[in-house]
Amino acid sequence: MAAGAAEAAVAAVEEVGSAGQFEELLRLKAKSLLVVHFWAPWAPQCAQMNEVMAELAKELPQVSFVKLEAEGVPEVSEKYEISSVPTFLFFKNSQKIDRLDGAHAPELTKKVQRHASSGSFLPSANEHLKEDLNLRLKKLTHAAPCMLFMKGTPQEPRCGFSKQMVEILHKHNIQFSSFDIFSDEEVRQGLKAYSSWPTYPQLYVSGELIGGLDIIKEAKCGFSKQILEILNSTGVEYETFDILEDEEVRQGLKAYSNWPTYPQLYVKGELVGGLDIVKELKENGELLPILRGEN
């Protein structure tokens, strides 16, 4: 593109220099789609995305495009949880409706075109969208036997908690698929309400939420750890099976034993019970005879 044409295109993208100016812009552009690029002058990928945005501004004159230096207006960046550049926020009716983190030109183009053609959101349309989103979330949570919704990818996690979750799953050779919640703001916000779980990562097994990192750590080392300590104190030899390594066994054993939780302790093929029962048996002095097969 010639220099003159580039300058003309960039001119179609407004620049915001203060929080007050940004709020005023939200109000003035309430009836149209507003796309805001949080950028930094030291990041070459931001310059590239500014050019992409300028091209889109020429193709879609009904859409308002704005760039805002993330470090120059920190109060706005903090309000919208901008932690990296480039990040794009999409506004309609003065409300944030979508987000894109990273320099993904095709994805930016796709989102701008989709939101530009969707028209205004009326209440009835919102209900329809919510219903469609819930169906989409149901499909996503059932997309694989074990689904991890995380920040980034297993190869490149973008937060410490997501990285730890991936390490736990890999350590135990658990096969899983993942979804990068940074790639879709609709899913990122919608899944919090769908699962009544406000943070990420989130792990689903057979479409059911298991929990976040703390819950997985507890499942790996809390109740199971306690029952192992009790068994070790008896001196009786035993074998273990990691139910997170085999989803078929994990679900099937609940029905087979008519016992909905783990850990489960069996002696000679018969269910003794879970942690609470094992604790009670130990306190009553009945555990050792049962483990020895005397009862």
The tens digit of pLDDT for each residue in 76-119 reads: 998 998 888 999 999 988 888 899 988 888 889 888 988 888 65
pTM of the complete model beyond 0.75: no
Scanning the structure block, which residue is given the tokens 């859409």? 63
Fill in the amino acid letter for 100.
L
Distance CA 127, CA 195 (A): 18
Give the pLDDT score at 17.
85
Q: Which residues pair with 36 in a beta bridge?
A: 66, 89
Residues of the chain with pLDDT under 70: 1-11, 118-131, 218-222, 295
In sequence order, what are the residues at sequence separation of 6 or more whose Cβ sits closer than 8 angstroms to the Cβ of residue 245? 172, 173, 174
Q: Which residues of 130-148 are buried (b: 16+ CB within 10 A; e: fewer)?
A: eeebeebbeebbeebbbbb
